[in-house]
Structure 1
Amino acid sequence: MSLLLAWPLASAHAQGEAEVSKGQRFYEKVCAKCHEAGIGPVLLGRGLPEAVFKLIPRSGLRAMPAFRVSDIDDDTLQSLATYLANSKPKP
């Protein structure tokens, strides 16, 4: 019986994880280390188009290194660009 009661919680947890895009996960794991530590500019809530968030990581800019396809694949880069372009500023 307790297993049946726990099932909706596990399902809700899985849905919550599914709502986090791979772009957001990449941002939190890689990008935030510089962009939330004052090393790089703030990216969240900038309102910039997706194209900016795809071009700069591939080509690099000033202290921002260029990320090869082996560092971030095109699908994850697109997801990252979508996440950042639609993000809200952190409180």
Structure 2
Amino acid sequence: MAYHRPAIQGFTCHALRTARLLTLAGLGSLCFSTGAAAEQAKTLGQKTYEKTCIYCHEAGIGPELKGRQLPPEFFAIIVRSGLRAMPAFPQTHISDATLKELGQYLSTSPARVPASATSK
């Protein structure tokens, strides 16, 4: 005895299958657009941190910057003049406006949770 699914009135199996696929495709594009929107919502300070600072300051080379509640001006002074192993970054590399956004981002960011703490 073969199993026969009851059809939804007015729809063929092919139409239902197509509707399911379109729904899944729509949900997938919604997830993609949400990720794109999140990327657009990043501040200039956050983008600068992720592009320039993260490679040393989240790899154990430089000190942690997030969660220290330091004033934005502190970061501007260090970035412009350099400190120990950190080179100075001139205006040709980071503009004053970008540096101000970076300082604001770092002064208000919560402390980073190390990857080893999240994998337990």
The corresponding residue for 1:16 is 38
Matched residue type, 1:68: P
1:33 aligned to 2:64?
no
Matched AA of 2:57: H
Cα offset, 1:11, TM superposition: 6.6
Q: Tell me how far 1:90 sits from its aligned partner.
A: 1.3
Q: Give TM-score scaled by structure 1 length.
A: 0.82
For 1:38 and 1:17, how far apart are their aligned partners in 2? 26
The total of aligned residue pairs comes to 91
Which segments of 5 or more consecutive residues in structure 2 lack a partner in the other structure? Answer: 1-26, 114-120
- The higher relative CO (CA closer than 8 Å, separation ≥ 6) is in 1
Give the AA of the match of 1:35: H
Match of 1:43 in 2: 65
Matches within 5 A, 1:50-65: 50-65=72-87
TM-score relative to the length of structure 2: 0.64
Q: 1:41 to 1:7 in 2, by over 3 A?
A: closer
Instruction: Report the counterpart of residue 100 of structure 2 in structure 1.
Output: 78
Which structure has the bigger radius of gyration? 2
Runs of 4+ with deviation above 6 angstroms: 5-11
Query: RMSD value over aligned CA atoms?
Result: 2.1
Q: Partner letter of residue 55 of structure 1? A: I
Q: How far has the Cα of 1:37 moved from its partner? A: 0.7
Q: 1:10 to 1:32 in 2, by over 3 A?
A: closer
